[in-house]
Amino acid sequence: MTATPLKTSTVWRLKQGRIDETDDCLSNEVPVALVYNGISHVVLMATPQDLPELALGFSLTEGILSSASQLYDVEVLQTSAGMLVNMDIASAAFLQLKGRRRNLSGRTGCGLCGIESLDVVKPVITPVVVRPKVSAAHISDALDAFASLQPLRAQTGSVHGVAWVNGSGHIQALFEDVGRHNALDKLLGFGARAGWNWSEGFVLVSSRASYEMVVKSAVLGVGCLVAVSAPTALAVQLAQEANMTLIGFAKPGQQVIYTGHEYITLAD
Which amino acid belongs to residue 22? T
Q: Which of 25, 110, 113, 224 is catalytic?
A: 110
Q: Count Cβ atoms below 10 Å from residue 250 Cβ, excluding itself.
A: 23
Alpha-carbon span 10 to 6, nearest angstrom: 14
Length of the chain: 268
How buried is 71 (Cβ within 10 angstroms: 0-12 exposed, 13-18 middle, 19+ buried)? buried
Q: What is the dihedral of CA 148, 152, 153, 158, to 10 degrees?
A: 180
110 is known as an active-site residue? yes
Q: CA separation (Å) from 70 to 65, 101, 123, 125?
A: 6, 18, 23, 22
Residues 236, 254 contacting (CB under 8 angstroms): no
Alpha-carbon span 223 to 237, nearest angstrom: 15
The set of residues, in sequence order, having a beta carbon less than 8 Å from that of 118 and lying 6+ positions away, is none
Q: CA separation (Å) from 111 to 22, 73, 105, 143, 216?
A: 36, 27, 10, 26, 11
Residues 189, 56 contacting (CB under 8 angstroms): yes
Helical (H) or strand (E) element with 227:
strand 224-227
Give the residue numbers marked as catalytic: 110
